[in-house]
Structure 1
Amino acid sequence: MTGTSGSDTILYHVDGELVPVDEATVSVDDRGFRYGDAAFETLRAYGGTVFEWDAHADRLDRTCETLGIDHGLDRGDLRARVDETLAANGLADAYVRLSITRGVQPGKLTPHRAVDPTVVIWVKPLPRGGVGGSDVWDGPATVQTVETRRIPNDALPAAAKTHNYLNGILARLELRGTGADEALLLDGDGHLTEGATSNLFFVDGGVLKTPATDGPVLPGITRRVVLDLAGDLGVPTAVGAYGRSAVEAADEVFLTNSTWELRPVARVDGTPVGEADGCGGPAQDPTDRVDHEVVDPGPVTGRLQSAFDRLVEECCY
């Protein structure tokens, strides 16, 4: 991997220093490695501008507060480190991951109050998603409901974006052999929550619906942007508790995250979106599907995609 600056290797930002990727390391005694005791944010840079920085920084603060990581870092300093990393690699359009761990402490589960945080900024080139840009996904997603359940909020708060991703990993492992792109997790009561790395939206009778964040659902930044855009466009919205049948019967379905932006869904559990009533014939076995089939995203999804593209263009280019 190379940056656009012409350097031979990409540079990461580790504890205040820019270092080549093959030298970017953290201690084996770091609690982020030992226990997943760390917070992170996935960011998108468009045209050299970090999209929705304040919202990401706010969520990072909340995660660190939940974890009791009093890192003492100023968000202006963190933003400067991100900008420095992008500039050092000559990247304008990029994926950025910012992590803050509790740092190196003795090998005991109970953390010390004093924190010397480890801060890592990881970047890679990623095409722009603004007007006239290209999507980072190859085509509409196929989604498969999995047996793995979302961890309840009273066990691990979903609003805390931590390094512990075993729940999502177990969900993705279930997709092996299915041909699906994303796992759809339910909560312990059988209600829809989210994908392994994405928030879920669906359209029912012209109403845009998404699971509420009072359940085990990450309050995604792109999720919030989409709800705001829907309000601007006059698209009615609803958040609540929905069963699996709601998304299977939906007219349109799409996923959101910072990387995918708005990604339409072609099939849910092998059934083409919008054809759960049988109008399209029997459900296709997900293992027999054609990869990345061409699917109209639907009128509501299409309007929201266009509005998101315009927002990125106005904010960042």
Structure 2
Amino acid sequence: MSAHTVYWLDGTPVDDRCASEGIQFAYGLFETMRFDHGALEQPGPHLERMNAGFARLGLGFSLSEEALRLGFEAAKAASGMASGALKVLAMRRGAPVEKADVDVQLYLRPNPYRDEADGGLAKPCSLGISAYSKNSRSVVAGLKWQGYADHIIEKDRAMSRGFNDVLFLNEMDFVAETAVANVFWFSGGKLFTPSLDCGILPGVMRQNVLKAAADAGISVSEGRFPLERLLEAELVFVTNSLMRLKVVDRLEQVVWPRPLANAPALRYFESLRAAVKAGCQGQTVRDWAAPGFDV
């Protein structure tokens, strides 16, 4: 602790980590990963995105698979949890940025979507629309940025109106993302999703869906779409790493009836959901603590 700077908490001097840029200014990144039966899903893509974010911010730090492995195994053992959600929070501490330290914290909690049938139609998602725009030109656009208060505030407001989540348009009134998910829809036998230049997060599950669609020969269009294009959809769904894929049945006052079992859009969705689930479960780290494991 510096001789010229003293940090206090409840009348007691504390370590300077309590006054880091991460705590004072929400300067940090986070990742959220699903784990089932002790297996963490897709740690590689999540680490790649987080480390790319550090580089973009100018931080001279990267989180290794070894560090994540040790932290996850310790947290899992201490919690006794075999399935749930892992949050990795990495916060800047110090200046200049290229010499700053990064404090990493791991949190385990129940997966809020764990009791659902992997995004099945039994419990579809409903969306309100935010009155505020997503800034596609923000310096942190596309980062999984610690400062998610705007997302949480707007999601809370949507939930108070009876919706599960909230949809953001960007400053040009193009469809962007929800507070916690990427957005897709089927129309005319084609899959649509906002492009990254709309200011959205490059979701790990989003990339899984795009790959599964390419493998299945489903035509995909990434672009800038006005809200009207989404409202004309035959089937809408949202994605994140905890719920994987989930159908949307309502956007404000627009309601999408449950698709018929033989509807092409539903068949496409079901094939994508099955392929993504298989791919995710094939990219797990199950026995990290086994002797001789090679990171």
What TM-score, normalized to structure 2? 0.80
2:42–2:283: 8 Å Cα contact kept in structure 1?
Answer: no
What is aligned with 1:157?
140
The question of 1:193 aligning with 2:176 is answered yes
Q: Which of 180, 204, 207 does residue 190 from structure 2 map onto?
A: 207
Instruction: Name the SS of the counterpart of 2:19 in structure 1.
Output: coil
Q: Equivalences for 1:232-247 in 2 at 5 Å?
A: 232-247=215-230
- Report which stretch shifted further, 51-60 or 216-225: 51-60
CA–CA separation in structure 1 for the residues paired with 2:64 and 2:244? 28
Instruction: Name the SS of the counterpart of 2:123 in structure 1.
Output: coil
Instruction: Name the SS of the counterpart of 1:41 in structure 2.
Output: strand
The question of 1:304 aligning with 2:287 is answered no
Cα deviation, residue 26, structure 1: 9.2
Name the Cα RMSD after superposition: 2.8
1:136–1:260: 8 Å Cα contact kept in structure 2?
Answer: yes
The question of 1:249 aligning with 2:232 is answered yes
What is aligned with 2:108?
123
Letter in 2 for 1:264: V
Q: Which of 19, 25, 28 does residue 18 from structure 2 map onto?
A: 28
What is aligned with 1:283?
none
Instruction: Name the SS of the counterpart of 1:168 in structure 2.
Output: helix
- Report which stretch shifted further, 159-168 or 262-271: 159-168
Letter in 1 for 2:269: T
Query: Which is richer in helix?
Result: 2
1:63–1:159: 8 Å Cα contact kept in structure 2?
Answer: no
What is aligned with 1:21?
none
Q: Equivalences for 1:1-317 in 2 at 5 Å?
A: 27-71=17-61, 73-103=63-93, 105=94, 111=96, 113-126=98-111, 134-135=117-118, 139-153=123-137, 155-273=138-256, 298-316=266-284
2:244–2:277: 8 Å Cα contact kept in structure 1?
Answer: no
What TM-score, normalized to structure 1? 0.75
Post-superposition Cα deviations, 1:38-85, rounded to whole Å, max 9, x if no partner, equal: 111111113322212111111101111122222354332223222332
* Alignment coverage as a number of residue pairs: 265
Change (3 A) 1:178 1:126: closer
Change (3 A) 1:28 1:313: closer
1:127–1:136: 8 Å Cα contact kept in structure 2?
Answer: no
Which sections of structure 1, spanning at least 5 residues, go unmatched? 1-24, 276-296
CA–CA separation in structure 2 for the residues paired with 1:123 and 1:26? 25
CA–CA separation in structure 2 for the residues paired with 1:26 and 1:302? 50
Letter in 2 for 1:91: M
2:34–2:86: 8 Å Cα contact kept in structure 1?
Answer: yes
Letter in 1 for 2:270: G
CA–CA separation in structure 2 for the residues paired with 1:192 and 1:70? 34
| Consecutive aligned runs of 4 or more in structure 1 exceeding 6 Å deviation | none
CA–CA separation in structure 1 for the residues paired with 2:257 and 2:268? 13
1:94–1:124: 8 Å Cα contact kept in structure 2?
Answer: yes
2:185–2:230: 8 Å Cα contact kept in structure 1?
Answer: yes
1:251–1:274: 8 Å Cα contact kept in structure 2?
Answer: no
CA–CA separation in structure 1 for the residues paired with 2:97 and 2:173? 38
CA–CA separation in structure 2 for the residues paired with 1:204 and 1:211? 14
CA–CA separation in structure 2 for the residues paired with 1:177 and 1:257? 22
What is aligned with 2:289?
none
Cα deviation, residue 208, structure 1: 0.8
